[in-house]
Amino acid sequence: MNLFEHSQDKDRYAPLAQRMRPESLDEFIGQEHILGEGTLLRRAISKDILRSLILYGPPGVGKTTLAFVISQTTKGVFVDVSATTTGVADLKKIIKEAEERLAYYGRRTILFIDEIQRLNKGQQDVLLPAVEGGDLVLIGATAENPFFEVNAALLSRSQVYELKPLDEEDLKKLAWAALKSPRGLGKIECALEAEALEHLVRIANGDGRVLLNTLEFAVLTARPNSAGVRTITLELAEEAAQSQRVRYDKSGDNHYDVISAFTKSLRGSDPDAALYWYARMVYANENPRFIVRRLLVHAAEDVGLADPQALLMAQAAASALEWLGMPEARLPIAQAIIYIATAPKSNAVLQGVDRALKVVKSAAGAQVPVHLRDTHYAGAQKLGSGQGYKYPHDYPAHYVHQDYLPSQLRGLRLYQPTGQGREKVIRERLEYLSGFGKK
């Protein structure tokens, strides 16, 4: 029996997540960006004109489920294998059968490989000629970045689709569908409290499989009342998920209080407090991109040029989040938090740009001095543009004193570096140049 075959006994004991696999695109929940009405992939599946593709995304977002929907839709022969149990000989046999099926019966073969990143180079090379020649259509599923793990030649012959974590509304739809469906828990009378559902959704963290399996455990262990109804309370949901609720409402006051405490801890140079509030947000399934955005802002706002590396650390954390995802990205994010919290602080950049914006409101029409104007457009020389400009690299120390502001703003100082960290060096440099230019 393969991954998608059914039997009465298997259905009876299969986890809820497996029993609830949709059999058509209309039943599929989530991934609207690639499967919504009118999308290319949806049309290709509906019309059975699919080409080779790689499904990439974290666990529980529907990669295998989508392959199952395709198996129910296609008129071709659907073969599914796991990369962990399939060798070169197995792949060669599948390819030979696919070639014969296409040549003798005009039927194409769709090969689904779960965890395709586990295929070694030799196994991937075996697939390449068959995919390139159209002898079979390959669907690979992976939770790892395919651009790192899959043969570049194989990737170039496949479309890569990224499946994203399910959002809260998708997870709620999934839960209610499971409670109502005869394939799911529809034969059991249940009452699901709103707080319990919210907790299950938070704990699932975008993973539909986690949500369904936790929900099933809660339902099966709930005690029916005298009317035979099983009520899923918050306490029961917490017990089933083995995780206590954190008081953190992403749309309420507590959300803003926690992020405020986090950013003030960064500004206040307290790495321990910053890590604590960060952990509170992670535990409550706050969107990690929201956290990283705050790091980027505060690296520039509160550290600034006192330590320019702080912004690079924040950017590195943001990049790590995109490449790794959670939970792995929690480490580079934590590293950036500690760095920013312990870095010397200065808000001189913030004050400088705010002063500049305020000045512009009253002097937005100030003319660009003649010697700073562009000289490349037609007629520029006739207008005298660029005349009198001094090229700094032609002078000692690659610096020469000249005015760079409109005449009415000469002497204006917007950026005023502090004596903190790197800004002390910057301040000394500006003071040196100011004196140097007047000699």
Q: How many angstroms from the chain centroid is the CA of residue 103?
A: 43
Class for domain 367-437, per CATH?
Answer: mainly alpha
Give the per-residue pLDDT at 40.
93
Give the per-residue pLDDT at 66.
93
Q: CB under 8 Å to 346, separation ≥6 — which residues?
A: 302, 303, 304, 305, 306, 417, 418, 420, 421, 423
- Does residue 438 or residue 258 have the better pLDDT? 258
Q: Which of 120, 190, 129 shows the shortest CA–CA distance to 157?
A: 129
Task: Kindly report whether the peptide bond that precedes residue 327 is cis, defined as omega within 30 degrees of 0.
Answer: yes
Residue range(s) in the chain whose domain bears CATH number 1.10.3710.10: 367-437
- How many Å apart are CA 177 and CA 317, to the nearest integer? 37
Q: Is residue 55 very low, low, confident or very high in pLDDT (cuts 50, 70, 90)?
A: very high
Give the per-residue pLDDT at 5.
57
Q: Which of 75, 104, 109, 106 shows the shortest CA–CA distance to 94?
A: 109
Give the per-residue pLDDT at 375.
74
**27-41, 130-144, 229-243, 360-374: the lowest-pLDDT one:** 360-374
- How many Å apart are CA 244 and CA 258, to the nearest integer? 18
The count of residues in the chain is: 439
Please give the torsion angle defined by the CA atoms of residues 312, 318, 319 and 322, in that order, rounded to the nearest 10 degrees.
180
Give the per-residue pLDDT at 253.
53
Give the per-residue pLDDT at 402.
81
Residue range(s) in the chain whose domain bears CATH number 1.20.272.10: 254-342
Q: Which CATH architecture has domain 254-342?
A: Up-down Bundle (1.20)
Residue range(s) in the chain whose domain bears CATH number 1.10.8.60: 168-241
In this prediction the pTM is: 0.57
Judge contact between 118 and 141, C-beta under 8 A: no
- Does residue 343 or residue 410 have the better pLDDT? 343
Kindly report, residue by residue over 72-125, the tens digit of the pLDDT. 888 889 999 988 888 899 999 999 999 999 999 989 899 999 999 888 888 888
Kindly report, residue by residue over 295-310, the tens digit of the pLDDT. 999 999 999 889 999 9
- How many Å apart are CA 401 and CA 395, to the nearest integer? 10
Give the per-residue pLDDT at 76.
86
Give the per-residue pLDDT at 416.
82
Q: Is residue 7 very low, low, confident or very high in pLDDT (cuts 50, 70, 90)?
A: very low
- For residue 288, give the 3-state DSSP assignment: helix
Fold classification of 168-241 is: Helicase, Ruva Protein; domain 3 (1.10.8)
Find the mean pLDDT for residues 126-150.
Answer: 88
| pLDDT exceeds cutoff 60 at 1 | no
The angle at the Cα of 426, spanning 421 to 431, to the nearest 5 degrees, equals: 130
Residue 332: what residue type? P
**What's the mean per-residue pLDDT of the chain?**
85
Q: Is residue 160 very low, low, confident or very high in pLDDT (cuts 50, 70, 90)?
A: very high
Fold classification of 31-162 is: Rossmann fold (3.40.50)
